[in-house]
Amino acid sequence: MKKILLNLTVISLMISSCAVVNPGEVGVKQKFGRLKGPIQTQGLVLVNPLITELVKIPIRTVNKEVGLNLPSKEGLNVAAEISILYHVKEGSVIDIINDVGIAYERTLILSTFRSASADICAKFYAKDMHSGKRAQIESEIKNQMVNVLEGRGFVIEAILLKSIKLPTGLYSAIEGKLEAEQQAQQMEFVLQRETKEAERKRIEAAGIRDAQNIIKEGITEANIEWKSLEVLRELSSSPNAKIIITDGKTPVLINND
């Protein structure tokens, strides 16, 4: 019985002496409250469970979703759901734990994000957060966070405005404005089309007028006499019997049998 208990104790100690670092994270040994390098990568790590603890920190991309009310330029509160994509630099893990602690996300990431979001969104109208300026807002929030967290061991990959809930009544106003803009664009298109069609007709009329002028200028008495002589010559050479009355200028065919 004692042997069994001894074996169980040994097995228990062996199990408690092993820690596992999973993919996408690193570990740092903490002995008597002090961090002891080197940084442990994924795999099995042996520790003394009585005096040593393995502190694990994820270094993979973290998607932190945050819901908050954002102020707008006109003083409205806009409910937003925003994602923060970030990761921790592997070489900065020990400094982050020493300077901030393992609660770095709440202490640094989220507090910096809330401050940057409020500062940036206050420069834009509520409708801008729901329209084409969303990408600009995301970029400016990210840039401000990067500036604040520079040198702290964090990489802010992206800020994503996932959903925006505008105040009641503002949606209708935005939809009305967008509809009016679409109608204005449609009217502009119609006017451009009609203008081009009118220009085409003017060009066509000018062409017809020029052609008629050319024909009119070409119809002279000399040309008429010349064409008449050509016709008379062709008629005289024809084998068919015919009666022609002419003054020598213009032939008139009386009979053609």
pTM: predicted TM-score of the whole model, two decimal places: 0.59
Residue showing tokens 């008379």: 232
Higher pLDDT, 162 or 212: 162
Give just the sign of the alpha carbon dihedral 223, 224, 227, 232.
negative
Summarised one tens digit per residue, pLDDT across range 173-185 is 555 565 666 677 7
Mention every residue, 6+ apart, whose C-beta is less than 8 A from residue 44: 18, 19, 20
- The three-class DSSP label of residue 248 is coil
Would you give the end-to-end CA distance of the chain in angstroms? 146
Higher pLDDT, 116 or 200: 116
Of 24-28, 131-135, 204-208, 249-253, minimum mean pLDDT range = 249-253
Summarised one tens digit per residue, pLDDT across range 231-254 is 666 666 666 655 555 555 555 544
Q: Where are the domains of the chain?
A: 2-57, 62-168, 221-256
Summarised one tens digit per residue, pLDDT across range 49-85 is 677 778 888 999 999 999 988 888 877 888 889 999 9
DSSP lists the bridge partners of residue 107 as none
Superfamily of domain 62-168: Band 7 domain (3.30.479.30)
Contact predicate 155/146, CB 8 Å: no
Written in H, E and C, the secondary structure of 153-220 is CEEEEEEEEEEEECCCCHHHHHHHHHHHHHHHHHHHHHHHHHHHHHHHHHHHHHHHHHHHHHHHHHCC
Provide the pLDDT confidence category of residue 224 given band limits of 50, 70 and 90: low
